[in-house]
Amino acid sequence: MSAFSAPLSGVRHGMSSLSMVHFDVDQLDPGGSPIRLLDDFRVSGSPFGPHPHAGFSALTYLFEDSDGALRSRDSLGNDLVVGAGGLVWLQSGRGALHEETPQDAGRALHGAQIYVNLRAANKSLPPQTFWLQGADVPRWSNDTGNVVRVLAGTYRNVASPLVPAEPFRLLDLAIRAELELDLVAANCTLLYARDAVTVRCESETLHLGAGQVVPVSGSAVVWLSAPEAARVLVLSGAPINEPCHAEGPFILNHPHEVKDAISRYRRGEMGSLQRRS
């Protein structure tokens, strides 16, 4: 069985203050992947007001080349400013509101928006927010110039301090020479090549162009290399073999659960956000 599926290129969307490259991850893995959304975004304004989430984790990772910092507010009382290289992880559970905007007008954000599903047993957990500043993200490096930023999960002997309800791996690779990446063969894994990169396992080699995503399955190790310095995002989690019903900002198991979440939101049970200061 092939370790690699056909790579997928994103579809670009844009408006005056927001542009993104959106990947239809259901095309890549329509089964039980916990990865429900992946967008590479650039934001220069405030295109979205406060909004709810329930049933999954919403991750915002600012790439290290982001010009601006992210202000993230939520109905749990958090009002955070996270700079380039930082991560905000809202594990929405039974429901919470949040709002994310550039901290400084005129300084654009560049990063990845990722939705990670939760199992039914965890969809009713109290909401919780985790975050890391860029300087606090653990790093692995070697003498060839490769660097791995460990935002969630582990790489070799380096572990992220974030402990979500369900194990998940989020790595940002800066590749300058061939890099060996260990994988859990049974997991659902996506590689997002921000730059052109070559990926090989024992019997196959795949060349990814910049801006392509590919799922990897059934392989315990892959090797990545690039003709020039390249950045690759790694997303990986155990499959969730449960019904999945998504509507807007809610990802639950069944339609009636989404209707219930909407009712709870309208009754104010997901909290509120104060006016921005």
- Identify the CA nearest to 61 among candidates 32, 91, 41, 36: 41
Q: Residue 187 belongs to what domain range?
A: 8-266
Does some domain include residue 272? no
Name the residue type at position 122: N
**pLDDT digits over 84-130, tens only?**
999 999 999 999 999 999 999 889 999 999 999 999 999 999 999 99
Does some domain include residue 256? yes
Does some domain include residue 271? no
Number of structural domains the chain divides into: 1
- Identify the CA nearest to 31 among candidates 192, 219, 242, 237: 242
Does some domain include residue 274? no
Question: Which tokens belong to 103?
Answer: 């901290």
pLDDT grade for 277, boundaries at 50, 70 and 90: low
Does some domain include residue 60? yes
Q: How many CB atoms lie within 10 A of CB 245?
A: 14
What letters, b where the CB count within 10 A reaches 16 and e where it falls short, cover 22-32?
ebebeebbeee
Does some domain include residue 273? no
Question: Which tokens belong to 6?
Answer: 């056909």
Q: What is the pLDDT of residue 238?
A: 95
State the CATH number of the domain containing residue 49.
2.60.120.10
pLDDT grade for 202, boundaries at 50, 70 and 90: confident
What letters, b where the CB count within 10 A reaches 16 and e where it falls short, cover 164-198?
bebebbbbbbbbeeebebebeeebbbbbbbbbebb
Q: What is the pLDDT of residue 15?
A: 65
Does some domain include residue 231? yes
Q: Which of the residue ranges 10-19, 212-221, 223-232 has the most confident prediction, judged by mean pLDDT?
A: 223-232
Does some domain include residue 190? yes
- φ/ψ bin of 248: left (φ > 0), alpha (ψ from -120 to 50), beta (otherwise): left
